[in-house]
Structure 1
Amino acid sequence: MSQILNQIHFFFICAVKKIIPTALILASLISVSFAQKAEKFFDKKDLLLVGSYYYPEQWPEANWERDIKNMSGLGFEFTHFGEFAWSAMEPEEGKYDFEWLDKAVALAAKYKLKVVLCTPTPTPPAWLTEKHPDVLMVNAEGRTIQHGARQQASWSSKTYRAYVDKIVTVLAKRYGTNKAVWGWQIDNEPSHYGTSYDYSENAQQAYREWLKNKYKDIGTLNKVWGNAFWSQTYNNFEQIHIPNVLELVAQANPHAVLDFKRFTADEAAHFILLQQNILRKYIQPAQWVTTNLMPTYSPVDPLRMKDLDFLTYTKYLAEGYDMGHGEQGFRMGSANSIGFSNDFFRPINGVTGVMELQPGQVNWGLFNPQTMPGTVRMWIYHVMAGGNKFVCNYRFREPLSGGEQYHYGIMKTDGVTVSRSGDEYVKVIKELKDLRKAYQPETAIPSSLVKRKSAILYNPDSRWEMEYQPQSNQWDYMAHVNRYYKALKSLGAPVDVIDETKDFAAYPFLIAPAFQLLDHQLVSRWKTYVENGGNLVLTCRTGQKDREAHLWEALFQQPILDLIGAKEIYFDLLPVSLMGKINMGQTNYDWNNWGDVIDPISEADVWATYSDQFYKGKAAVLHRKLGKGTITYVGADTDNGQLEKTVLRKIFNQASVPTLSLPEGVLVEYSNGFWYGFNYSSQNQEIPIPTNAKILLGQKTIKPADVVIWKE
């Protein structure tokens, strides 16, 4: 309780001083008021609990006990039921059948498996969509998305929400006191997948209501949206339509687009939190509530779901889209993919887990390669190194029919033979027994990591605004963020990805990448952070607009000019075919994505300059001291991130903070008293393990897709 009161006091002070936007304060207080303290659900000495998805409704009942017994016998500690089973739970409207699920839950309990039970809301049954076709979402082309697949329902449909209320209530009443049920997952990967946004009449009406609640009167909306331009002025809210680029002859209003993306994220969060509220009426406090999200899916904002007990994520890496590092990288994925997800989800509520981890070869990728031997095992340990409480394999049995044929499971198609990647799960489960014995709860975080502790400040509004107005076909916000994340990890820095509700002072190093939308209060917070000894890094595009995406009626990026030590900034963009040069020290770096050209004040140090174009010799990177700390502005966005990495290394060096120098694809992590080394590269790598360390698992030199764990 004291922690809650302290946090409320912190946000009260922030509100009085106007240093955090009111919306963020309210969101955080909601989280404080209703979300349970997630740590209470997990015993630290377990380190990582391992589970697997199972679909009793998809297999003959005669197989259930054999499969669940085998799952337990292999060492799995929990299983996962029900997220796609609405038609099995309610085969006809109002006629419920839970006998099959009762049997499955009882079998799990018999074999000492905890159960994660799910609400089945991503897959409405055919009888529902046939009776109420208006519950279906509509895509940008005006096509109603038909029954089949999943996530075809409109979050904004009041009819659909009424049916959701009924099925979730029945589930909660039936299983809310069942001791075998460990926790609840709401929905599954809340999204509309490739369709992304809903343009149905349900969404249209809800969007108008959202706008009315935000702006109160149409005149205020017209002013904020700049509707005098192109005679877009509205007389009332009913005239407003969802901005749809396929229905317009020219660019949609960027302020309308930004608000629509905010609305969509709010709708997704409300749909999830609505179900949590129903569950909490009936389930016991010992059962936790979460949902599983896709880390980089833009339309859904995890930060809006803080009121859940904690958030979990889904992760697939080897699916033909992520080519990883080196010739064989496509079999492992990028070294920072799991790491960024860990460091993004964990700070939201202090706890996270991976609810769905790739089981090996999948069926839906650009191409579907076999994973490098050891890769699945490496992924599991990377999840553990991120402080996750559990990892769940998707799925126990490889399906014989339906939409996921060829998708690996723990078991092969015969249902009784362990698969290649299943063997890797079994190996980890056995190794965890020894690691749990070696766990020492009193171990302090090494001082070297405390000194390197870094945060990346993430802002969905800036992301959404730049996605619509990128200014260059090469601009990619998440790629830009990842360049800094990757550089920090190569230096051996622990990272939290945070939002503005967090206390910046907890981090010696704070990076705010492309923070395009801000206000003077945030700039003031940054200044205070630096004056008190923090090291702040701002990057290109930061401070170009206010919170509603208006350019300032002042010099370009005026709010940050004094802070970074600049008189003026303008930017340049180059074609894909042309690489510009930036000189820093004795090295030239290529760039062509984005380049802020900076005119510095005399007190600022120029760390890098442009080596060509008509602004040759102009500043590309500025650094200055302010109070006890420093601020650095990096004006360019590069493809390979080498400039960004060089700048960060110099900042750490000037702060007298030692760093590592890890090769491409190699990571060193720390969690719960254990050090981990991972090799996502295509060559053998030597991990920098101190001579006095005790290696618990593996060896100092590890092959691709291998891991080493040690204690110091």
Structure 2
Amino acid sequence: MHLGVDYYPEHWNISLIDEDLTRMKEMGVNTVRIGEFAWNMMEKEEGEFDFSFFDRVIEKCKEYGLSVMFGTPTATFPAWLATKQPDIFNVAEDGQRISFGGRRQYCYNSATYLNYSLRIVKELVQHYREETQVFAWQVDNELGHEGSDDCYCSNCQEAFSAYLKQRYDSIDELNEVWGTIFWGQTYQSFDQIPMPTRTITVHNPSMRLEWLRFRSYSLSQFAKQHMEQIRRFKGEHQTVTTNIPGGFFEKKFDHNEFSRDLDFVSYDNYPVWGGLAEPVSPAMLSMTLDFVRGLKQENFWIVEQLMGAQGHDVIGYLPRPNQAKLWAYHAFAHGTTDMLFFRWRGMTHGAEQNCLGILDTDNRLTRKYKEVQSFFKDISNYKKVVDSPIQSDIALVYDFDTIWSWQIQQESAAFDFTEEVMRLYEPFYTQNQSIDVIRADVDFENYRVLLLPVMKIMDEQLVGRLEAFTANGGTVIFSYRAGVRDRNNNLVLGEQQPGKLSPLLGVQVEEVESLPDGKEIEIQTDKGKKGSSKVWRDLIKPLDATGLYHYTDAYRDYAAVTVNTFGKGNAYYIGTGADKEVMQEIANRVADERGLNTTKTSAGIEVMERTTEDGSSYLFIMNHNGQEGYYNDVQLAPYACKIVRKSNENAKENGIVKRDD
């Protein structure tokens, strides 16, 4: 098990290194991550490479028995390169070239930047290919983060034209698919097609979807070429990863396109950031970890785990005593196998002076150091547990064409895609279910329930797979606007919503209404049980389906929530932004129908079960609350986690025994 810190020895006088590494060893560190922002130290002048500083660092790591993950430094290029090659810069939508001084200012479609970046990667990796202390290479840093996934430079214009020529057999086909007859946008050649920069009103939705696919393709190709470069020159004992940033559903790229090619997925886990009054909810935090695990359907690393308060200009919420330690346990419960904390020590210069670490700039050993030390000591006893695969009965299914379609046309001022994901995810999370978050091309065979939030774009192949899954006894749960558009982001003439999903769901949608922000409407069952909903409503006409909730206003004749028996399974349609109580009721109903194992806990207490190869079951029992809590006879201090082994005799009652040390 690799346990460690992100270490930037170049930020300090090298004379501190012995003190730093001694303290790390005493804290329980066996791994450090280095080098990811140090291009200028390695190539101070073009073509003159010097790795002597990191040679000394690695020798010291070897002396102290610390393994090294080395980050390729391409996220922060040198000032000399910025001056010499201005065409490498990203250009904003308004045409303004991004300036030197931040990070990730490069364009993914700049051949110039690609060549320079691949060259430094080659020299670096070749230099350390035989170094046994270096066991892994990290590609770049947080690819596509902080808006770097978008660019409108001339390189991108040329690459977009080339991309479209590969996608379409002819310009006539493109015109037909996009419907460019509307507003007289018909093109005579691919070179006439602009980038979707500012215009009067808006650009064609099909064109904007292709632009977002192109953005994802551009980033992924850059990442893959860097992976290939590392693999070409690395040692056989060395592996390849990259650190994925959060905010998945707001990005202009699909993480799956390159992450599946990594040796293992790594993630930067920040439950809170500058400006947030509170951390994200435990359910949201769980969903993000489940998303990362779903990329390769494997357990994963965290290479930046928050310990101190974070922010660039605004310092964020300070994790309460043991809260950041709980987040570390929580990550292991959801599939993390190895963890590095960010960062070893806070910085006295530059843009991240407010990104606090295990040590602050006073360089004292404080509460945060002791929390990490106790966490490393405890979690290292559970390698077999955390290495065990997670088996889930439930999968939340997403599709980036749908995500981008919602980015392009929000349709309701109150709409937020991540909130709609959580609307389906959270009621099953509350049952303490394990949930995989997966792209729609993953095999559904091993699941019993599929959650499909606001799946606007649908094609015949996916519909067929969902029908087969349901007919064989599975349960699918769709929320509103399902299946209304085709793969080109267009409505289909003569097709009544929900389109190709109508036989599966057993409904037709007669009309729709976007509900403005702050507007709520009432829904109720035939027995008079009331609920509320917001954001959107589909006016549903059941065909074969049964109405579970109906509207109570002028549209009382229409259903809001339905269920349809399809083969051996059930298909639910939630045609509105139903409240938590309604969603919990549906989740409980599904759990009963499918015989899912649920665990009842009080609010803020989470239980995750893990089973090792020998069949032993362990429970991660976590208290996300700032006050004492209980699970059965287990007492939990504020923000505490206990890992306990279940008693075989009392498994049905969730009995527990102390772990075997």
For normalisation by structure 1, the TM-score amounts to 0.86
CA distance in 1, matches of 2:218, 2:265: 17
SS of the residue aligned with 1:644? helix
Aligned to 1:125: 78
CA-CA distance at 1:268 after TM superposition:
0.9
CA-CA distance at 1:228 after TM superposition:
0.8
Aligned to 1:537: 477
Label 1:686 to 1:365 Cα distance change in 2 as closer, same or farther (>3 A): farther
Label 1:586 to 1:665 Cα distance change in 2 as closer, same or farther (>3 A): farther
CA distance in 2, matches of 1:378, 1:252: 46
SS of the residue aligned with 2:41? helix
Alignment of 1:480-499 (within 5 A): 480-499=420-439
Letter in structure 2 aligned against 1:596: D
Equivalent position to 1:249, from 172, 197, 200: 200
Aligned to 1:652: 591
Label 1:521 to 1:63 Cα distance change in 2 as closer, same or farther (>3 A): same
Cα deviation digits, residues 633-667 of structure 1 (max 9, x gap)? 111114x5332222111111123334234444332
Contact 1:557 / 1:569 at 8 angstroms: preserved in 2?
Answer: no
Determine whether 1:263 maps to 2:177: no
Label 1:497 to 1:433 Cα distance change in 2 as closer, same or farther (>3 A): closer
Determine whether 1:343 maps to 2:290: yes
| Root-mean-square deviation (Å) | 2.0
Cα deviation digits, residues 93-133 of structure 1 (max 9, x gap)? 00111000111111111111110101111101000010001
Aligned to 1:40: none
SS of the residue aligned with 1:593? strand
Aligned to 1:684: 628
Alignment of 1:247-646 (within 5 A): 247-297=198-248, 298-305=251-258, 306-319=260-273, 330=278, 332-349=279-296, 350-364=298-312, 367-415=315-363, 417-436=364-383, 439=384, 453-553=393-493, 554-584=495-525, 587-601=529-543, 603-612=544-553, 614-638=554-578, 640-646=579-585
SS of the residue aligned with 1:233? coil
Determine whether 1:103 maps to 2:51: no
Aligned to 2:38: 85
Percent identical: 29
CA distance in 1, matches of 2:120, 2:496: 56
Equivalent position to 1:59, from 4, 8, 12: 12
SS of the residue aligned with 1:652? helix
Letter in structure 2 aligned against 1:685: G
Contact 1:676 / 1:708 at 8 angstroms: preserved in 2?
Answer: yes
SS of the residue aligned with 1:525? helix
Contact 2:3 / 2:31 at 8 angstroms: preserved in 1?
Answer: yes
Determine whether 1:155 maps to 2:108: yes
Letter in structure 2 aligned against 1:336: A
Question: 5+ unaligned residues in a row in structure 2: which ranges?
Answer: 647-661
CA distance in 1, matches of 2:54, 2:459: 52
CA-CA distance at 1:621 after TM superposition:
1.0
Label 1:123 to 1:320 Cα distance change in 2 as closer, same or farther (>3 A): closer
SS of the residue aligned with 2:336? coil
CA-CA distance at 1:187 after TM superposition:
0.6
CA-CA distance at 1:75 after TM superposition:
0.9
Aligned to 2:641: 707
Cα deviation digits, residues 27-72 of structure 1 (max 9, x gap)? xxxxxxxxxxxxxxxxxxx4xx321011122111211232123212
CA-CA distance at 1:374 after TM superposition:
0.6
Aligned to 2:656: none
Letter in structure 2 aligned against 1:707: C
CA-CA distance at 1:142 after TM superposition:
1.1
Greater mean deviation of Cα atoms: 383-392 or 373-382 = 383-392
Letter in structure 2 aligned against 1:616: R
CA-CA distance at 1:312 after TM superposition:
1.4
CA-CA distance at 1:289 after TM superposition:
0.6
Cα deviation digits, residues 355-403 of structure 1 (max 9, x gap)? 1111221233755222111111101101111121211111101111111
Contact 1:334 / 1:665 at 8 angstroms: preserved in 2?
Answer: no
SS of the residue aligned with 2:221? helix
CA distance in 1, matches of 2:98, 2:111: 17
CA distance in 1, matches of 2:388, 2:111: 52
Equivalent position to 1:235, from 180, 188, 191: 188
Letter in structure 1 aligned against 2:630: E
Letter in structure 2 aligned against 1:373: P
Question: 5+ unaligned residues in a row in structure 1: which ranges?
Answer: 1-45, 324-329, 692-699
CA distance in 1, matches of 2:309, 2:86: 36
SS of the residue aligned with 2:436? strand
Label 1:442 to 1:307 Cα distance change in 2 as closer, same or farther (>3 A): closer
Aligned residues: 635
Letter in structure 1 aligned against 2:522: K
Aligned to 1:141: 94
CA distance in 2, matches of 1:586, 1:116: 60
Label 1:598 to 1:482 Cα distance change in 2 as closer, same or farther (>3 A): same
Label 1:505 to 1:433 Cα distance change in 2 as closer, same or farther (>3 A): closer
CA distance in 2, matches of 1:366, 1:474: 27
CA-CA distance at 1:320 after TM superposition:
5.3
Greater mean deviation of Cα atoms: 624-633 or 371-380 = 624-633
CA distance in 2, matches of 1:322, 1:240: 41
CA distance in 2, matches of 1:82, 1:442: 28
CA distance in 1, matches of 2:388, 2:318: 39
CA-CA distance at 1:569 after TM superposition:
3.9
CA distance in 2, matches of 1:169, 1:441: 34
CA distance in 1, matches of 2:79, 2:145: 18
Cα deviation digits, residues 154-197 of structure 1 (max 9, x gap)? 11100000001110110111112211011111011112514651
Determine whether 1:164 maps to 2:117: yes
Contact 2:456 / 2:482 at 8 angstroms: preserved in 1?
Answer: yes
Label 1:368 to 1:444 Cα distance change in 2 as closer, same or farther (>3 A): closer
Contact 2:213 / 2:253 at 8 angstroms: preserved in 1?
Answer: no
CA-CA distance at 1:624 after TM superposition:
1.9
Aligned to 1:16: none
Aligned to 1:35: none
Letter in structure 2 aligned against 1:665: G
Contact 1:52 / 1:396 at 8 angstroms: preserved in 2?
Answer: yes
SS of the residue aligned with 1:223? helix
Equivalent position to 1:69, from 18, 22, 43: 22
For normalisation by structure 2, the TM-score amounts to 0.92
Equivalent position to 1:222, from 159, 175, 197: 175
CA distance in 1, matches of 2:150, 2:380: 45
Greater mean deviation of Cα atoms: 544-553 or 126-135 = 544-553
CA-CA distance at 1:318 after TM superposition:
2.4
Contact 1:190 / 1:300 at 8 angstroms: preserved in 2?
Answer: no
Aligned to 1:22: none
CA distance in 1, matches of 2:253, 2:623: 31
Aligned to 1:17: none
Letter in structure 2 aligned against 1:597: L
CA distance in 2, matches of 1:200, 1:683: 53
CA distance in 1, matches of 2:16, 2:189: 60
Letter in structure 2 aligned against 1:141: D
Label 1:285 to 1:514 Cα distance change in 2 as closer, same or farther (>3 A): farther
